[in-house]
Structures are given as structure tokens and as C-alpha cells.
Amino acid sequence: MPKNREQDVCEVKSVDKAKVMAVKKSMPSDRDMHNLSEIFSVLADPARTKIIYALSKEELCVCDIANILGNSISAVSHQLRILRNMRLVKFRKEAKRVYYSLDDRHINRLFNEGLKHVRE
């Protein structure tokens, strides 16, 4: 084998038709895969992942989140809008304050699993 040949590819071409068919049959729709990739894309921003982490611990108002991150209220509001549009966070209004929390338990699990992965 030539020295410059990659070691991480098969040396022979063969297809396990049963495995391929099983995976193709279980493959989510293109729309679902697109939506999932958008979620991961949104979570690729460190400011947004910090917001998700903070909200996994406590329901917080925009001012609290801005203080935790050391960012302006305007910058945090922009990030929260992106997270809200992806249905990762939700808000509720109480008098003159707006409180944010994670949209549902799936977001918390997704975040915690990702965090475990990078820590191992």
C-alpha cells in the first residue's frame, strides 16, 4: 500500500445491504434532519450555550442573564430571540419583568449529554 494512502477507509468496496436498508428505513425525514442541524447550529455559539446552561439551573430575567454573561441587555435579548425562535427557550411576563426558562426537558437533556461528552 502506498505510504500516503489514508488508513481510515476500507480497502475493499462492499456493501452490507441489510444494514444499509435498515438504516435507510429508520432515517428521519429531510425536514427533521434540517431542523435538528439548525438546533445544533444555534447551539454552536458560546454565548447561547452559556444562556442555555444558566437557564438549566434557574428561571432568569434578561437582566440576570446579562449580568451572568457580562453582556449588555440588548446583546442578551438578541441571543434569547434566536433561542426562542428555535423553541429552545420560552418566556413568561410577570408585571414589568420577563423571565426565561428552557422550553422543555429535552433541551436540558440535550445540553447535559453534550456537556458530559466534552468532559469525558
- All domains of the chain, ordered by start, with CATH? 46-119 (1.10.10.10)
Print burial letters for 28-47: b (CB count within 10 Å at least 16), e (below 16). Answer: eeeeeeeeeeeeeebbeeee
d(CA 17, CA 117): 31
Global pTM reads 0.82
Please state the φ and ψ torsions of residue 61, each to the nearest 5 degrees: -90, 165
Each of the 120 residues of the chain gets a pLDDT tens digit; together they read 455 566 888 888 889 999 999 999 999 999 999 999 999 999 999 999 999 999 999 999 999 999 999 999 999 999 999 999 999 999 999 999 999 999 989 999 998 899 999 999
